[in-house]
Structure 1
Amino acid sequence: DMQTGSYRPGAAKGFEFFKEIDIKSYAKEASRIAKTMLGAKYAPSGKMPVIIENEFGGVIFHEACGHGLEATSVAKGLSVFAGKIGEQVASSIVSAVDDGTLSNEWGSSNIDDEGTPTRRNLLIENGILKGYMVDKLNGRRMGVESTGSARRESYKYAPTSRMTNTFILNGTSSLEDMLSNVENGIYAKYMGGGSVNPSTGDFNFSIMEGYLIKNGKITEPVRGATLIGNGPEILHKIDMVGDNLAHGQGMCGSVSGSIPANVGQPRIKIKDIVVGGR
């Protein structure tokens, strides 16, 4: 839903995936998380530093920022990023792209659903907004060319600008570097679901597996933690970016139906964000 944003983890990565997947490893990891969280205490609440792990941690950027960079909302002035090309919209250590050309990735294709070749679109470079994801119709409204970003679920939907493989680029910080700066905080190993308002960037996301950070060390597991914030504001509060970029697969729902899309990021540290707990 374009008004609330929706993204759910995918179960497959193309036809080859079914030959390569190790069901036992997935089952073992799921049981480990369940067992860990079963005995976990409730998370504390308040504003604190949070370290978010790589891969599906990128769902926050996808929802809280990515949808706002689609011409579907930008062309109508419904996005908080409309008219901000060339402006500082994130911390200077943050760069992000949408790349539909990545080989064999979940959101990739040779051409978009209007026949335009897909390409690597630089969205944010060193914190500066460089571009949007644009389809032909909204491109005419904005006076810019298509970026090969028109997508739809099937012939039943009109194509519009959508994400493909959208991710934050690698930085240089290690987990040890990030932890050393945190006295009291949260380590989000796995993110869960959530919701966002693309017109404002306000979001809330649950943490599926999280731990307390005490004096630079990851300690006991906590449950019931949620991250509450605003996408554009959080982009400015990212003060460390890791070097372990990875992608997570899912299905993204919007006005042109449900489509396969990758989210992704390296591990990031947010200086402070509201954590909902007890």
Structure 2
Amino acid sequence: MDISGIPDIARPVQKQLDAYNARDIDAFMRYWAEDCRYYEFPDRLLARGAAEIRARHMARFQEPNLHGRLVNRMVVADMVVDHETVTRTFPDGAGEIDVVAIYEVKNGVIARAWFKIGPPRLLTDAVLRRALPSDAAAIRDLTHAAYAKWVPVIGRAPKPMTADYHARARDHIIDLLHAEGRLAALIEMVPQTDHLLIENVAVLPAFQGRGYGRRLLAHAEAVAATRGLGEVRLYTNRLFAENIALYARLGYRVDREEPFMGGFTVYMSKPLHEAPPASG
């Protein structure tokens, strides 16, 4: 995540959340003090010191669906209070929990943290998680399957079928939707200064018609709002009429059309009137 607009006191908190989502234990531990304390709110000590926190999270980082989504953040003096929704794997299956996390930051690292955890909600339908570079091949295969029907329509492979997903999984935000034990859909997003750009929405043909595309577009709006961005933008081929119709139903407007490779690209946008201001 771009941290340029984040208050200094909150930067180690954001950095450890990014490392948590990447399941990178070494990067995660850089932002915890050696003598840190880790509590279940209000005062039940769960881990004392960096070694115990490392051991606790090494096991958690093995969970395939692990992902923490920041819902809201407040900074007061040296305290950072986050509301997060965390996707985890429970004994009965994948699910989500709401977490209020309170971090005390000293000398650029987390000195103490308290966590108030809500009850788990099992996700029997579908699970979202952030893609890792290791997911590049699966992202490419799903995208090719989703866009194959458009090849005879436009006479060439659509742009998403030619992308380098090893680079995009590293440089962009790609969130993956799993259903029935397999990768079913994805959305690729690129935060810009004043808007969130959707580069790709793809649903595996076997899972089309279930509303996953709409769900991912709504998810993108939530991502934009969380980052303080007031608009979502996307583009598509003018011959993809059903896609344009869907975007219009969801509140997107056509901004312009431009020639591209013998056809036309349609650029669309949707303002998010209730987006919160950027932190910092």
Compute the TM-score of the two structures, normalised by the length of structure 1. 0.23
Structure possessing the higher radius of gyration over alpha carbons: 2
Compute the TM-score of the two structures, normalised by the length of structure 2. 0.22
Higher helix share: 2
